[in-house]
Structure 1
Amino acid sequence: MYDEDEFLALSGVQHFAFCRRQWALIHIEQEWSENALTAMGNVMHEKAHDEALRERRGDKLIVRGLYVRSAALGLAGKCDVVEFVKGLKGQPLFGEDGLWRACPVEYKRGRSKQGDCDRMQLCAQALCLEEMLACEIQEGFLFYGTTKSRERVVFDDALRSKVVRSADEMHALFARRHIPKVKRAKTCKSCSLDALCLSGVSERSVASYIAEYVGDCDEAPA
């Protein structure tokens, strides 16, 4: 179990699964850079995280920007949307009658991906909810803005294990303040941190890069 001051950002699960170096630059070095893709994603999340937008649709209660945490994983953050469905099975909710089943919904700008980075983030949210509500959540949904469609995600043992292993690795790297080395990939072009990552000089040390840059500046005309 982790203490609260050891919690890492829940959103980091997606960053870590996408690229360990990207995660380290954002969550250890506190680096961030916007591009068109991240800007569009922010617009979607601003609406999803509007805590004032609480809806009822029949036997469904829709809550936005719900803060969740897990001491077992050492993660905390906000869910875009959690849908609580009233039924014969579920958990009691404060101020509500009956039993309710929780289903997390995460909003993403693009389209469904082959990799599990988005699914792992959603699963991490479910694990936090399970710990908080003392329940079991079998599935959730990813809503993709480009296709305007939902993808059903089943939280099976394989996906849960990926999340647990990633959380352990994140804490290990964070404790060491370790920044993984550059590993150039096709996905680097879509990353807003591409320029900050020194991906174009992966075979050179940071010291040599800085030395050359300073030398060029010294030779430049005033």
Structure 2
Amino acid sequence: MNDMSDPVMLSALEHYAYCPRQCALIHIEQVWDENIYTMRGRDVHERVDEVSGESCGATRIERALPVWNKRLGLVGKADVVEFFDDIPFPVEYKSGRSRRGRPEILQLCAQALCLEEMFGVSVPKGALYWHGSRERREVEFTEAMRAEVERAALAVRELLEQRIMPPPVNDKRCDGCSLKDSCLPSVVAERERGRKVMRELFAIEGGN
């Protein structure tokens, strides 16, 4: 069992899946910058961040539900959890239009693992709701997804405990990242390339 006195936030799993450097900047360096995408996301989550519950027929709905998994040392909050016959069904709200993103699915599956431990039941499915396009997509939590959550939880814990700052990805992900000005991906990547060239050059000269 992991030590829940220093848990990993569920949001860190999504950040790590998107970009390990982004995860480190946010959760180690406490860097957070706003852009149009983060502002939209904040606006959407303000609608579901107030703790509340209601019943709609046989379905019970809980909003901003605190969740945790002691085995993996995870903690966070589920936007919405629908209970059908006492079986939790997590629903994660996202801004923008529907897209098939691995980070969002990883975070949703992590919520399911938390709910399974908390309520002692199997949580086979959940859903992503895209506010921009008003689309809801159901996600089935496969064994592969569950294993990926566990690997990501271990990787994020190692990154946070050792205060590792990964190199920038410096690809199309950077264009929509609010931390681009703080990360400076092209500058850091160019510097790393220069260091690599120098190391290779000295290795060649040393071999002669």
TM-score above 0.5, yes or no: yes
How far did 1:102 drift?
0.6
In structure 2, the partner of 1:76 is 75
Matches within 5 A, 1:115-134: 115-134=101-120
Q: Which runs of 4+ in 1 moved over 3 A?
A: none
TM-score by length of 2: 0.89
In structure 1, the partner of 2:39 is 39
How far did 1:113 drift?
2.8
Q: Secondary structure in 1 aligned to 2:122?
A: coil
Q: Which amino acid aligns with 1:45?
A: H
Write out per-residue CA displacement over residues 88-109 of structure 1, whole angstroms, 9 at most, x where no aligned residue: xxxxxxxxxxxx1110000000
**Structure 2 residues without counterparts, runs of 5 or longer:** 193-208
Q: Secondary structure in 2 aligned to 1:82?
A: strand
Matches within 5 A, 1:129-140: 129-140=115-126
Tell me if the contact between 2:14 and 2:104 (Cα under 8 Å) persists in the aligned partners.
yes
How far did 1:192 drift?
0.3
* Residue 56 of structure 2 is aligned to residue 62 of structure 1: no
* Residue 90 of structure 2 is aligned to residue 104 of structure 1: yes
Matches within 5 A, 1:66-215: 66-86=65-85, 100-201=86-187, 202-204=189-191
Q: Which amino acid aligns with 1:102?
A: P
Q: Secondary structure in 2 aligned to 1:73?
A: coil
Q: Secondary structure in 2 aligned to 1:192?
A: coil
Q: Which amino acid aligns with 1:197?
A: C
Write out per-residue CA displacement over residues 114-153 of structure 1, whole angstroms, 9 at most, x where no aligned residue: 3311001000000001011111100000000121010111
Higher relative contact order (CA 8 A, sep 6+): 2
Q: Which amino acid aligns with 1:71?
A: K
Please identify which structure carries the higher helix content.
Answer: 2
CA distance in structure 1 between the partners assigned to 2:101 and 2:56 by the alignment: 33
Q: Identical aligned pairs, as a percentage?
A: 43
In structure 1, the partner of 2:18 is 18
**Structure 1 residues without counterparts, runs of 5 or longer:** 87-99, 206-222
TM-score by length of 1: 0.83
Q: Which amino acid aligns with 1:115?
A: G
How far did 1:183 drift?
1.7
In structure 2, the partner of 1:51 is 51
